[in-house]
Structure 1
Amino acid sequence: MKTSWFDRLLLAGAVLLAVLWVLPLAWVFVLSLKSNAVLMERTDALLSTPFTVANYADILANPAVFRWVLNSCVVAGVQTLLVLFLSSLAGYGFARCQFRGQRWVFAAVLAGLAVPEPAVVIPLHRFFAELGLHNSYAGLILPRLAAPFGVFLMTQFFKAIPRELEEAALMDNASRWRIFWRVILPLTLPAQATLGIFSFLGAWNDYLWPLISATRPEMYTLTLGLAATQTNFAQSEGLGFLMAQAVFAALPVLVLYAFFQRHIVAAVAGGRPA
């Protein structure tokens, strides 16, 4: 089958956009392999030698880094699982259950998307301070469990599932909970993967709330801990070390995306993964 000139033009445009998207990432990675002394002289010789892994060795030389990685894994992992569970329950309720004021409640949930994070930082800080939850995993996780986008995504996905599946299960005397858990929820794997990626990415890269809630170094997340190790002149005198920190912090997210990429593509396409 011959391809038209229009298809070739679209392909060329897609390749060009992909290259433009990858170039900054490649630039960051290459700079992370350069010594700070070399980068203080020039930053344009990206492909010239010498290369070094000293910047990564400096990161791993700090024993607190492993504690920060553990904190980020616990916070991001538990938060993602709870967001998936709560958003799925709420989405199924809005999609399948009829109750008084349903539209108003759903509108109130979506209104949370319009609330900027800095507007609620002070009330959250005072609330968790009164509960004594700062410098704890609960204090880092609980504020992010309210996920209006997750509720909206799961609601729309549940609405797209035919009701005949539930009706057939009801005829077999299956309970509502069993229908949700055994029949409907497995069909939402693409949406679950997409929401999980966004939730994990947001939790892993979160900086503002850990900066407020975690005041002890042993409770720092990776983003907060790496920022704490930077000097006032990190962007000029420690550029290679700064770029190595960025690559080191991004690796878990890239690995996670590589594993769930087909589910994300299927969710965007509106189908099931192959």
Structure 2
Amino acid sequence: MAITPNNLLKINSTALFPAQVTFENLLGVFKVGLTTRWFTNSLIVTGITTVFTLLFQAMAGYAFAKMKFRGRKVLYSLTLAGLMVPKEALFIPLFLMFSQLSAHNTYAALFLPRIAIPLGVFIMVQFFKGIPDSLTEAAQIDGASPIRTFFSIILPMTVPALTSLGIFTYILTWNDYLWPLVSATRKEMFTITTGLASLQGNFAQATELGSLMARGSIASLPLLILFLIFQKYLIRGISMSSGGK
């Protein structure tokens, strides 16, 4: 439907193959509203969120899985308890916190609430438990510090798990609608999801099916490319994190 002229879709929108092909709908996506800016905002927010999430979740997972400290089990249980808290329940305290910091309508407000997720910690802990303790013990005998052991020896071994976690994070952040809708009130700070949704208030944009499908196709294109490139790493990371061989 994205490559079918709008005038033909008004007559028949159930055809499996388009009677006529046009790329006007796809080319016109970036001419409507601030779509280019919204697309760029999503790329920036999603990229920053993914990088920081991978770093923090890997560090936390390594600490819970390999390091001995008082209260580790209790702290890990409290972290996993966060899985039971719906993200919508956090909107009010998050909104008030960023309001006090005057940080709404900034990139920081869009990516900071997403960089600490309990699911990521759980995935990394499961992966790190499969790494023999003899590796870290050998590094300690050679005089390597815990930080050097983590970044030089352990982290390079976690590429499959980091890849799967990165894909999950990227998809969830790119598709996130509710928090950007709450935090970003200026149009120039909309992400692609909130920006395209705001166009539905325009009657012409909401009734032109070809343009509507074209916007959806463009918005989902980065996710499709990401999955096609990293699908084998995603499957491998999931199997290794769940204890598979």
Range class of TM-score, shorter chain: over 0.9
Q: 1:58 aligns with which of 4, 28, 50?
A: 28
Counterparts of 1:201 and 1:245, CA distance in 2: 17
Q: 1:160 aligns with which of 99, 109, 130?
A: 130
Structure 1, gaps ≥5 residues long: 1-30
The normalised TM-score by structure 1 is: 0.83
Please state how far the C-alpha of 1:256 moved relative to its aligned partner.
Answer: 1.7
- 1:218-251: CA deviation from partner (whole Å, max 9, x where unpaired): 1111111111122365797222222111110111
Match of 2:222 in 1: 252
Match of 1:131 in 2: 101
How many matched pairs? 241
Check whether the contact 1:234–1:242 (CA below 8 A) recurs between aligned residues: no
Counterparts of 2:204 and 2:58, CA distance in 1: 43
Check whether the contact 1:79–1:141 (CA below 8 A) recurs between aligned residues: yes
1:184 is aligned to 2:163: no
Counterparts of 2:193 and 2:18, CA distance in 1: 30
Q: How big is the alpha-carbon RMSD for the aligned residues of Structure 1 and Structure 2?
A: 1.7
Please state how far the C-alpha of 1:270 moved relative to its aligned partner.
Answer: 2.3
1:143 is aligned to 2:113: yes
Partner SS for 1:133: coil
Check whether the contact 1:40–1:236 (CA below 8 A) recurs between aligned residues: no
Check whether the contact 2:180–2:194 (CA below 8 A) recurs between aligned residues: yes
Match of 1:4 in 2: none
Give the 4+ runs in structure 1 shifted more than 3 A: 231-236
Counterparts of 1:235 and 1:69, CA distance in 2: 18
Matches within 5 A, 1:228-267: 228-231=198-201, 237-267=207-237
Counterparts of 2:134 and 2:51, CA distance in 1: 29
Match of 1:193 in 2: 163
Match of 1:21 in 2: none
Counterparts of 2:18 and 2:192, CA distance in 1: 31
Structure 2, gaps ≥5 residues long: none
- 1:8-46: CA deviation from partner (whole Å, max 9, x where unpaired): xxxxxxxxxxxxxxxxxxxxxxx1112222222222212
Partner SS for 2:173: helix
Counterparts of 1:78 and 1:236, CA distance in 2: 32
- 1:149-206: CA deviation from partner (whole Å, max 9, x where unpaired): 0000001100110111111211211111111001011111000000000101111111
Please state how far the C-alpha of 1:259 moved relative to its aligned partner.
Answer: 2.2
Counterparts of 1:179 and 1:270, CA distance in 2: 21
Partner SS for 2:69: coil
Q: 1:171 aligns with which of 137, 141, 150?
A: 141
The normalised TM-score by structure 2 is: 0.93
Q: Which amino acid aligns with 1:123?
A: P
Q: Which amino acid aligns with 1:130?
A: Q
- 1:94-122: CA deviation from partner (whole Å, max 9, x where unpaired): 00112222211111111111111221111
Structure possessing the higher relative contact order (Cα contacts under 8 Å, 6 or more residues apart)? 2
